[in-house]
Amino acid sequence: MAIFEVRKGVKRELSSREVKQRVMEIRGWTSDEYNKEYDKLRNRVRAYESYQAQSGVIREKQSVATILYREAKAIKREGDEYKPTLEMERLKSFPSISSGKALQRRLQDTSRWDVRYSETTVAQFSGLINANPIAREIMEKIENPVQREKALKDLAEKLHVRIDESQRAQAQSAIPFGQTAGSKDTIDFDISKYL
């Protein structure tokens, strides 16, 4: 994934060397420290992707440099107030083992990773789970934590699309609608493909 920078109104893509330099400046790392952190994170990212693939969710490979860059930018922006996202915390909880047989042996006992994945899913979607009966059904019926999170993400996206369409319709209306809270309509969402 490319990283862009806008300077004096001109947008340009940063080279991998420039990305590395920016991260080292923000984090105060030497080149060796950057390489060490890059390697550890790369192993964690690949372990995370392998775990997800075992659960049937195939995602595009993530760029380790992009992850390091975005985290460095967040640290620069937020300073002492910086708190990693739930996704970053989850990612960093995976083992930093180079891919291969050792990683596969480590991921065979998925119970530890399942618990961690479930904890962050509940934290991330607690509002939706509490407010929506379909989300509660997803939590109750889907046992695979990766598929459960995918179902919740897909449901949330479908709800957002519906809300956006409703807001557009209200904006185009000659007579403005009053404030609405909730909907009596049920949303069509099939959880069977996630089971």
pLDDT digits (tens, 9 = 90+) for 14-35: 999 999 999 999 999 999 999 9
Distances 112 to 34, 50, 105, 183 between C-alpha atoms, Å: 29, 15, 13, 39
3-state secondary structure of 132: coil
Do 194 and 147 contact (CB within 8 A), yes or no? yes
Per-residue pLDDT tens for 127-180?
999 999 999 999 999 999 999 999 999 999 999 888 777 676 666 665 555 544
Burial class (CB in 10 A: 0-12, 13-18, 19+), 69: buried
Per-residue pLDDT tens for 67-76?
999 999 999 9
Question: Given a cut of 80, is residue 193 above it in pLDDT?
Answer: yes
pTM above 0.85?
A: no
Q: What are phi and psi of 194, to 5 degrees?
A: -100, -10
